[in-house]
């Protein structure tokens, strides 16, 4: 009689995706980590869904056994979130997204759900779906995944208050994974995460070493310098200054504007580009371009910085300061530890970048003092959580009733 094969582990990774590709790229790294590492711990194959609000995300390669669910897009407006494409009101859009996520969780029946950054999604779109999941599949483990820097403590206090405090979160989530090194920045110590949530917090280390690279897609053959603006929606000042920077002799310069940069902004960058500088909208795999570069200028998003820190390539980080202080806090903390350099956006100029390129190109930076092992740590962390006792649901509802 043939041995019965254990049922596959089902995983759902959600990201709301209103600006940039950071949330989706982080979840993609997590998908690869769980797909490759979790079967060795749980002795079960992994299959999963990446739920995203960014339609361009589907150009990225997913692990075997994974697929995408693309929600109708949203964007940040001056007074809150708005539909990115649909000509319907925000309330109608949230209802549509809510029903889609609820259907995914109800029909896919996951064993593990990881929600990226926003515990209950955009305008509370996950509340009903997570409540239904808890009632219908109490064995499912639900995790809130947070980057190591959220925002200023004052801004985060307002955000937690709008959420209704921590009790709603403690009633739904089994753990909070913080994708960082508390020796560099500890959001519990700063108050970005309320102290009452400390028992749920697990630090993973930065999601850096062990990320999957797919190979370069750009034609720059000689040693080259690299400038990146993340998704590109707010990266004009950076790439415009970098495109106009003089490039050291013997080097090329690759500028990646990002797929979300408006076309008229991209044309400005192309016109500003000096000889030896190539401007592209996107690349197949940013990590591969990072690994091949001799020096990097980048915005301070979590994924860009994590991928940079997986190498010994020198980096100048130019963080955004609006609408959140997240990138400035991250870049400042890492610069204090000597693993990157930082330029405040108010000080940005082609001359400053040219001088930094001339000084940094071809040098190396040691980053062994930072915990960069988050990618490899995720599989064991997830396996331990999935193996936890079934009484966690009872404890959860007890916490909610207090």
Tell whether 27 and 163 lie within a shared domain: yes
CA angle 333, 254, 223 (to 5 degrees): 95
Taking CA atoms, 148 is separated from 22, 116, 307, 363, 371, in Å, by 13, 12, 15, 28, 12
Tell whether 141 and 181 lie within a shared domain: yes
pLDDT at 65 > cutoff 50: yes
Q: Residues 139, 164: contact at Cβ < 8 Å?
A: no
Give the model's confidence band at 389: pLDDT under 50 very low, under 70 low, under 90 confident, else very high: low
Q: Is the dihedral of CA 274, 303, 49, 102 positive or negative?
A: negative
Percent of the chain whose pLDDT exceeds 90: 78
Q: Specify the pLDDT at position 388.
A: 84
In a domain, 366, yes or no: no
In a domain, 368, yes or no: no
Reading phi first (left if > 0) and then psi (alpha if -120 to 50, else beta), residue 149 is in beta
In a domain, 328, yes or no: yes
Cβ within 8 Å of residue 79, ≥6 positions away = none
Structural domain harbouring 255 = 224-360
pLDDT at 180 > cutoff 80: yes
Give the model's confidence band at 212: pLDDT under 50 very low, under 70 low, under 90 confident, else very high: confident
Q: Specify the pLDDT at position 20.
A: 63
Is 227 in a helix, a strand, or coil?
strand
Tell whether 25 and 122 lie within a shared domain: yes
Q: Specify the pLDDT at position 221.
A: 67
Please count the structural domains in the chain: 2
pTM of the model: 0.91
Cα Dmax for the chain: 74
Span 302-328, mean pLDDT?
Answer: 95
Span 388-396, mean pLDDT?
Answer: 51
Lookup: tokens for 326: 């997240």
In a domain, 217, yes or no: no
Tell whether 174 and 251 lie within a shared domain: no
Tell whether 36 and 73 lie within a shared domain: yes
CA angle 166, 170, 174 (to 5 degrees): 145
Tally Cβ neighbours within 10 Å of residue 76.
Answer: 14
In a domain, 219, yes or no: no
Tell whether 330 and 386 lie within a shared domain: no
Tell whether 179 and 68 lie within a shared domain: yes
Q: What is the CATH number of the domain that holds 271?
A: 3.40.50.2000
Tell whether 150 and 197 lie within a shared domain: yes
Tell whether 70 and 105 lie within a shared domain: yes
């Amino acid at each position: 009689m043939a041995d019965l094969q254990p049922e596959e582990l089902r995983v759902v990774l959600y990201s709301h995706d209103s600006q940039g590709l950071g949330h989706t790229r982080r979840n993609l790294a997590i998908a690869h980590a769980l797909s490759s590492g979790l079967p060795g711990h749980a002795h079960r194959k992994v299959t999963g869904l990446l739920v995203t609000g960014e339609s361009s995300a589907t150009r990225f390669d997913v692990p075997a056994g994974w697929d995408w669910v693309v929600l109708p897009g949203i964007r940040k407006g001056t007074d809150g979130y708005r539909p990115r494409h649909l000509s319907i009101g925000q309330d109608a859009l949230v209802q549509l997204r809510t029903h889609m996520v609820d259907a995914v969780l109800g029909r896919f029946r996951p064993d593990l759900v990881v929600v990226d950054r926003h515990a209950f999604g955009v305008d509370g779109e996950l509340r009903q779906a997570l409540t239904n999941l808890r009632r219908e599949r109490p064995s499912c483990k639900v995790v809130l995944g947070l980057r190591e820097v959220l925002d200023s403590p004052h801004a985060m206090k307002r955000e937690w208050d709008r959420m209704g405090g921590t009790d709603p979160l403690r009633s739904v989530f089994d753990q909070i994974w913080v994708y960082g090194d508390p020796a560099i920045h500890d959001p519990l110590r700063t108050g970005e995460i309320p102290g009452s949530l400390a028992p749920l917090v697990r630090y993973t280390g930065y999601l850096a070493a062990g990320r999957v690279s797919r190979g370069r897609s750009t034609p720059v053959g000689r040693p080259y310098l690299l400038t990146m603006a993340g998704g590109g929606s707010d990266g004009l000042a950076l790439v415009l200054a970098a495109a106009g920077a003089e490039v050291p002799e013997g080097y090329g310069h690759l500028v990646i504007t990002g797929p979300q940069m408006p076309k008229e902004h991209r044309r400005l960058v192309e016109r500003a580009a000096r000889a030896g500088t190539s401007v592209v909208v996107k690349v197949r795999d940013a990590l591969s371009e990072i690994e091949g570069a001799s020096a990097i200028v980048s915005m301070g998003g979590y994924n860009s910085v994590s991928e940079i820190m997986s190498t010994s390539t020198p980096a100048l980080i130019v963080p955004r300061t609006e609408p959140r202080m997240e990138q400035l806090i991250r870049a400042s903390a890492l610069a204090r530890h000597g693993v990157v350099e930082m330029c405040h956006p108010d000080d940005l100029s082609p001359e400053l970048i040219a001088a930094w390129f001339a000084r940094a190109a071809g040098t190396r930076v040691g980053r062994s003092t930072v915990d960069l092992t988050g990618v490899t740590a995720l599989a064991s962390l997830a396996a331990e959580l999935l193996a936890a006792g079934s009484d966690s649901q009872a404890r959860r509802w007890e916490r909610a009733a207090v």
